[in-house]
Amino acid sequence: MEIEKTLNEFIETFFKMVFSLVLKGFKGITKLKSIGKAAIFILSFIMLWFVIRYREMIFTYADQLGMPVWFKMTLFVLLCGLPFWYLVILQSLEDKKQRKYVGLFKEMAFHGRDGKYPYFLKTYEDDGKTIYNFKSNIPLSEWKKAEERIETVFDCTIVDFENTTSKRLLKMETVKSDRRIPKMIRWQDEFVSQEEAAIRIGQGAIKQIEFNLDDNPHVLIAGETGSGKSVILHTCLWQAVLKGWKVYMFDFKGGVEFSKRYEQYGEVITDRKKALDILTMLCEENEKRSELFRDLEIKKLPQYNKKYNKNLTRICVFCDEIAEMLDQTGVSKEDKPLYEGMNARLSSLARLSRSSGINLFLGVQRPDAKILTGQIKTNITLRISGRFADKAASEIVLNSTDAVNIPNIKGRFLIKVGNEMTEFQAYLFDDDTMLRDDVDREPGALLIEQKSKLHNSYYDDPQPPQKVELKKEGRGEEKTLDLDFNY
């Protein structure tokens, strides 16, 4: 009986081992996603063909070495199974990784209500970051609460968590533990990007944080009092000044945000009627630029300036608190048309000035759906948010509650471009020490200014406005444009 029992146990163990190997082989097929692994798998089939094709030669060589028959046959069978053994090895390595990560999560007792630990799917490198993908029943909020513990056991700094195609699939972006976001970094003029439309606003865990106004023409910057929202706005404005762009500063706090020193760099508007006039003028400028670019088949401002050797200026509108500008609460019936006019023109610029080089930088302290209308939000894809205690405020700005989880560090922000969210430390910009009076500023021209000059010269010298002929490249057809669109 003992012999029979032992034999049965041996047979059972043998079949379990065979079943496990077969299962691993089938699972290994799913690991052939990279070109390198697939290439090795194909190579194993080539070797299999070689073994079968030249088996007689292999057996003859084995006989010359004095190998026993059983050894030759075992070796031959193993060689014939090369593709299968390769798949088994792939899956075994994957199982080893899985055991490693289960061990890490066990160490910190991080599991779902069902007692199961996150299942490791894959890891890869991307732009200096290490990305982990897991499958689990643990909610995203629980992962964020356990962030510090996960950083400790993984020995890394977590950049972001997010669900991918399912609530059960999670992506964890990390960098090496020695790469952390600084808590304070002062602005230096050498940070200014050499790219024409690029603006740099701070430092992330991996690199400087910047955005390009040709790709994201408008910016919404939100943050509670003391978060550093105004500092980011001033950092952006100063770069616009150094790049020689034309700037308009809307300040309805009595000149508190943009002091008299700023008047040397651009126009500071503190009166709402004046603000409406400026916005109306910018809408007209945008209309003329759009018509010009459409006629010349130009997509962006830099393309036009480079192609025709012109200096049509980029225009930046800065408003530190959009609520002070647009909030109609308590406004008299007589003044409402003024507010509605500003709102309409601001919405028009947000919607239509994508390619014309007219950019909006809007700051908001108390996000409100009545102020940040759907039309304005829809057309401002780049959002920057400081920490909010209120989840609703975070939802309005970022369409998520992530701003609630920002560390309580002054100058710490999240930037959202499309669906990508990045935490960073904003540059510290100090007006008293960093503004300079010796900036050589010669902003380029506006189309409506050229029209005005042309109109005046017409009456001084009663010659009709000349026409210029521009030939479109690659078509051989000529297009005649008035000079008030070309200067």
Instruction: Please report, for the chain, the start and end positions of each structural domain, with discontinuous segments joined by +.
Output: 2-91, 108-176, 189-434, 447-485
Neighbours of 462 (CB within 10 A): 7
Name the E strands within 84-168. 119-126, 129-135, 156-163
Name the amino acid, one letter, at 116.
K
Contact, 309 vs 364, CB < 8 A?
no
User: 217 is written with which tokens?
Assistant: 């023409």
Q: What is the pLDDT of residue 485?
A: 37
pLDDT value at residue 456: 43
* pLDDT at residue number 180: 82
Under DSSP, the state recorded for 427 is P
Domain 108-176 has CATH 1.10.3470: no
What would the two tokens of residue 87 be? Answer: 């798949």
Q: Which helix (H) or strand (E) holds 42?
A: helix 35-53
**Rounded to 5 degrees, what angle do the CA atoms 324, 327, 331 make?**
105
CATH classification for the domain delimited by 189-434, as one of 2.40.50.140, 3.30.110.60, 3.40.50.300, 3.30.1280.10: 3.40.50.300
Question: pTM score, two decimals?
Answer: 0.70
Length of the chain: 487
246 DSSP β-pair partners: 315
Cα 184 from Cα 430, distance rounded (Å): 13
91 residue type, one letter: Q
Helices (H), ranges, 361-482: 374-378, 391-398, 431-434, 447-460
Return the pLDDT at 471: 43
Q: Are 200 and 441 in contact (CB under 8 A)?
A: no
Q: What are phi and psi of 419, to 5 degrees?
A: -105, 0
Give the pLDDT score at 1.
Answer: 64
Q: Is residue 431 a contact partner of residue 273, using CB atoms and an 8 Å limit? A: no
Residues in the chain, pLDDT under 70: 1, 24-26, 254-255, 450-487
pLDDT at 221: 95
CA separation for the pair 380, 220 (Å, rounded): 7
Using alpha carbons, select from 361, 356, 345 the residue that is nearest to residue 447: 356
Hey, how many other C-beta atoms are within 10 angstroms of the C-beta on 320?
25
Q: Do domains 108-176 and 189-434 have the same CATH topology?
A: no
